[in-house]
Copies of this chain bind each other. A is one copy, B any other.
Amino acid sequence: MIEQPKTGGAQGYLRIATEEAFAPPKMLDLYRKLLADGYDDPGFASLWGFYLGSPSPRATKIIERLQDLGPQRIQYMDDRGIDRQVIAVTAPGVQVFDRDTAVAMAREANDMLGEACAQHPDRYTGMAACAPQAPAEAAKEIERAITKLGFKAVIINGHTKGEYLDNPKFLPILEAAAALNAPIYIHPTGMPKAMVQHFLESGLDGAVYGFGVDTGLHALRLIVSGVFDRLPNLKIIIGHMGEALPFWQYRLDYMQAAGQRAKRYDFLPALKQPVSGYLRDNFYITNSGVAWPPAIKFTQEQVGVENTLYAMDYPYQCDVEEVITLDAMDMDAATKKKFFQTNAEKAFGL
């Protein structure tokens, strides 16, 4: 019989899970209200209509677990051998609300998470929510959450009403994160209205495929916008094995260079590096949702051993079998320790 994973590092490393989610009950109430009011965002309606409306065990358990930051969560971590969760408000966070609601809810979510982190400093690390709808306030809230609440990163739950972080209006957010040495985790959310139709009509808009497409786009938009040439110490984290960008690297490099030589898009700046150079220098990649050694090793080899981090994706995906599989990976002990523990300690400054 296979032994259950335990916390404490007896296996030679701590397990730090870096893409774990929570939801303030009030935020879920606001989602319910948006759904009831017919908020015109089919990707959001597909995602939260399912989780808040489905009687399935998957939906009901996830809604229950998302709202808990207390003993139940700690028990789940203990049962799965997770020493520390790096926790963020779940997607879409506050990014679907009007500006004032978003600003207030981000602050409230951070206070709630901050309190939980203060109660469990050896088990929880916080990521700062913010309202991109109000970029200057977002920058201030990020600073507050990092400096006052002790958070170590920023969560951006994908596009904000169809706008991505490469939009110049969001520069204060990027600058604040870079100045505070806080990486920005770009998490998937429901696909934007201008993209979702052909995914939604085929049941492929969610985590199964659409999330990855849209989050990969988000990361690439930042890269081709040249923002990393202007803010070289800005760090971005993407999950789900880098939303397949590690596998796309050759084509990304070839076609970005071909387009640049041919001046196909006159609004795009010349980049100092190939796309893959930014993945290596400015990105951390977590394996959230992908407990699959071949993809983890590919990313370690083709992006970097130092770039590749462990994540679980609690409570969306938290099977103990996945922990057991990853513990058993055929990988040298030093690399495995980087993956599970020390890369996260460096990325988040733990």
Contacts and interface: CB of A to CB of B under 8 A. Distances in A.
Interface of A: 50, 54, 56-59, 159, 162, 164, 166, 192, 194-195, 197-199, 202-204, 206-209, 212-213, 216-217, 220-221, 224-225, 240-241, 244, 246-252, 254-256, 258-259, 261-265, 267-268, 289-292, 294-295, 298, 301-302, 317
User: How many copies of this chain are found per oligomer?
Assistant: 2
The 6 closest A-B pairs by CB, nearest first: A203-B265, A56-B262, A250-B292, A208-B255, A247-B247, A194-B197
Contacts of A202: 164, 166, 217, 220-221, 224-225
B204 A224 contact: yes
Contacts of A195: 194-195, 197-198
Contact of A264 (B203, B261, B268): B203
Contacts of A246: 247
13 contacts: A54-B264, A195-B197, A198-B221, A203-B224, A203-B259, A204-B217, A206-B255, A209-B217, A244-B247, A247-B295, A250-B292, A255-B289, A294-B301
A330 to B, nearest CB: 13
A254 B317 CA distance: 9
Most buried by B among A202, A206, A240, A255: A202
A224 B298 CA distance: 27
B261 A58 contact: yes
A203 B268 contact: yes
Contact of A290 (B164, B225, B250, B267): B250
Contact of A59 (B199, B241, B262, B294): B262
A162 B198 CA distance: 8
Contact of A262 (B58, B225, B259, B291): B58
A227 to B, nearest CB: 12
Contacts of A212: 248, 251
Contacts of A194: 194-195, 197-198
Nearest to A291: B250
Nearest to A203: B265
Contacts of A261: 56, 58
Contact of A217 (B199, B250, B268, B291): B199
Nearest to A256: B208
Nearest to A241: B247
Most buried by B among A162, A198, A289: A198
Given A54-B263, A56-B261, A198-B217, 8 more contacts: A58-B262, A159-B198, A202-B217, A204-B224, A208-B220, A208-B256, A241-B251, A251-B289
A212 to B, nearest CB: 7
A192 B198 CA distance: 9
Contacts of A58: 258, 261-262
Most buried by B among A159, A166, A197: A197
A342 to B, nearest CB: 24
Contacts of A220: 202, 204, 208-209
Contacts of A204: 217, 220-221, 224
A294 B298 CA distance: 8
A302 B293 CA distance: 11
